[in-house]
Amino acid sequence: MKTIFDETVRIQLIDRIETLNKNSVALWGKMNLYQMLKHCRIYEEMMLGKNKYQRVFLGRLFGKMALKEFTQDESPIKQKTPTLNQLKVKEKSGDIESERKKWVALLNEYANPPKHEIVHSFFGKLSHEQVGQLVYKHTDHHLRQFNV
């Protein structure tokens, strides 16, 4: 399973992020480029333990089962997977370059990841290995969404 903790994988993802430009359009979903970049930045802040969110009720019920499904194989995240409310970006426009740089900087932090426990707002407590896999899959999902 690919992981953000693998330097080669991380570099490949960042190279893909760098190919995004103001003309990049989503193949599916409701987010535009700015919203996706900011969403991914907010997600990384959660996965690095910089922001903490309350567990959602459905996550308490189904989080562990869903986590197992998300981390059992290399298959991409499904296109219609819902976005957690805490990670939705409402503003339609903003500084694309600034969000891209912030996202890349956060991804680079996985070279020396935090040692503290990460609690995902849907999945709950995550192991180091699960963090690596989920971050890879989430990043890959949104880059596929924008055809890169």
**pLDDT (tens digit, 9 = 90+) per residue, 123-136?**
999 999 999 999 99
For residue 8 the two structure tokens come to 């080669």
Average the pLDDT over 45-55 and give the result.
92
Residue spans of alpha helices (H) in the chain: 7-18, 33-47, 57-71, 96-108, 128-145
Confidence at residue 82, expressed as pLDDT on a 0 to 100 scale? 87
pLDDT digits (tens, 9 = 90+) for 133-148: 999 999 999 999 999 9
